Structure 1
């Protein structure tokens, strides 16, 4: 009768043999703990006499091993495996057994240890894992260290859903890139006055771009799209959401409450209610942690990336790349030389070379931040509240060729 063991494989139940009289005890087939290692048996077909093992008490005698179904099946499998081997392999094994003298045990052990150690070194060099940056938060339930790797792996897989075509403005008939820049610059000021969370600003700009990439908008409705996008972002991110009347008031009552609510319905239906998209903010938090940032580095990084929100040309970069390049540019700005640690590279999965194109554009934005008409970001980060981050020197050496 067959039964199934704990590993799920079929195993034959032992047969009920009648009294065998002088049958040898089971201890003679080395089934007890501490028994001598079993001798090798020659492969044989079922039903043929087995050669057995040498008897401990009489070396010239042979102990007969009983032929059970399980043992016969095992022997048959060994026989088939042996027959499948090539002739050259058999000759090699035979030569090693008969002609190669065995090395002393101590020498063999030393050689095996050397081989094992070299293999381990090769494995360690081949597999490069990111250092653990979450051990300090192991007791913080809000850090969700058990799931943080899965969360950011999911962000990486889905960040493409938050991206838009970098030339979507070509499909707009009444607005252009400069109008978008004016709108975003103004919304950064509104965000500052309402004292909203940083996540809200990034989601606001993302909603605007995704909506404009799908829907043509008249010039007189562009500001309405902007304030409505911020209202939606507030509902998604904020604990205390400003009233609809507050957004109507901030536009100097250019739009009514009903118009804002109507635009809200249009936006959420156009975006199919998808507000859960990874923005550069979520990646910056992770990459800043990998960079072991301080408050100064964090403020300069946010200053640089907010400058990028205004620039339409930066839509060609993925959120994770934008975040990594902002941190790299901020480090170069504060330290005066190129700085991108191995830990940052492993967690961001971007090398320094991959960041240079985006970083050089950021240096240009940093250099001209206080010039022109769109200076809200520069004024915001020139205050004591934001650590005078805008006054840091731009990393102009990154623009030089050959560096």
Structure 2
């Protein structure tokens, strides 16, 4: 029987009819198939009820809006990778947000409110998710990315707040760049000097700042001594400054000597008659650590008017190094002052006056309450104020020292008081040293008395 075209739908089928067979599609049973095969169920993909052939699959061309909506199916959580992809179109998103009205009660938390670009995109994504309710997430979605939940307790930032945060972030980045440039300019003059270790100098002084407290002593340690007091300590250090000047030793030796004395006295009780022995032995140890040409033990015995023997000096040397556990390398105020003077772009006069002021502080027991970096910064600040006649503390100095002008005022006022009273008492070793032409007669400079006014 001839079947003529697609219009004849009501066709009488014989008993031996096996069904139609099309290429790629099985409709009915094939010849030779098993009898226990399950029949296909209706999957609601047929348009008509009497269509003998499966309908053709027609691909729908989606518009750009539909594609964008489809990308947000299931209310996808905002992830770091997702936020980065949204950042590419941030400018367009910000314009859309400015024209739209945020009239919803649901709130979202963003991955990072300090990021300038992703915020506008996240706001647009959030509006589209709220407005489009036709998409539902079925089943448990598994994401390889780390995502952030959306609590409803945090309010959504407005566009004005977002723009303000963007401006603040940009200003902070610009300020950090300016500060980094200022710190780099400190060592430009020594870029070709291998001994200046420009590549590592910032790391070195960062390590000094972290470890400077290990070289500090309690400011009231003298209360544990039964036979000596603060006045005796001042007499000893004033005498050692004269010895240091007579032997023409480097400045590092003097500051390390005083540090060794204080650290030893803070741990060990010393009788009055042994205090000078502690001083000369500490200078011997400092010379071995800092000097190229070390004074011999006999020279120190002679300078102390032979009050002690060689065996006593060597025995005290063993006692000091064992008490301090051989820890001779500590940051001193002089180490910091060299760096801070370089940051301040100081001249010879400021350097000499800073050294004079900080050596005056070595004699004073009450200055032990300040950290070495604080003493160095305050000495440079006080010297600048004394020579210039007004308060002077640059942004570069503040960044390098990590101390503001307000933080330095208390220590600086005490230094001005010492400067004003120097040369008038019995302890005049520092004043005599810096009254010579070798040290630029720094002791004769006028103190910055205007810093003593607490109203400033």
- Give the TM interval when normalised to the shorter protein: 0.7 to 0.9
- Give 2:212's aligned residue: 159
In the TM superposition, 1:289-308 aligns within 5 A as 289-308=342-361
Please tell me whether the aligned partners of residues 282 and 317 of structure 2 are also in contact (alpha carbons under 8 angstroms): yes
- 1:83 aligns to 2:136 (yes or no): no
Partner residue, 1:106: none
Q: Answer yes or no: is 1:327 the counterpart of 2:412.
A: no
1:175 paired to 2:228: yes
329-338 or 179-188, which moves further after superposition?
Answer: 329-338
Provide the residue aligned with 1:110 in structure 2: none
CA contact (8 A) 2:385 2:392 kept: yes
Matches within 5 A, 1:231-246: 231-246=284-299
Report whether the alignment pairs 1:361 with 2:414.
yes
* 1:4-403 pair list within 5 angstroms: 82-84=75-77, 92-93=127-128, 120-125=170-175, 129-130=179-180, 131=182, 132=184, 133-403=186-456
Distance 1:262 1:400, change over 3 A: same
**Compared CA separation, residues 84 and 383, structure 1 to 2 (3 A):** closer
> RMSD across aligned C-alpha pairs, in angstroms?
2.6
Q: Output the CA distance in 1 between the equivalents of 2:290 and 2:399.
A: 29
Change (3 A) 1:81 1:181: farther
Over 3 Å counting, the alpha-carbon distance change for 1:80 and 1:234 in structure 2 is: farther
SS of the residue corresponding to residue 134 of structure 1 reads helix
Q: What is the TM-score of this pair, normalised by structure 1?
A: 0.73
User: 1: distance between equivalents of 2:360 and 2:316?
Assistant: 27
Whole-angstrom CA distance in 1 between matches of 2:172 and 2:314: 62
Report how many aligned residue pairs link the two structures: 315
- CA separation in 2, counterparts of 1:320 and 1:87? 49
Specify every segment of 5 or more residues in structure 1 that has no aligned partner in the other structure, as ranges: 1-59, 64-77, 98-114
- Distance (Å, rounded) in 2 between the aligned partners of 1:340 and 1:195: 33
- The CA deviation at 1:195 is 0.3
Shift of 1:119: 5.6
CA distance, structure 2, for counterparts of residue 243 and residue 289 of structure 1:
34
- Structure with larger Rg: 2
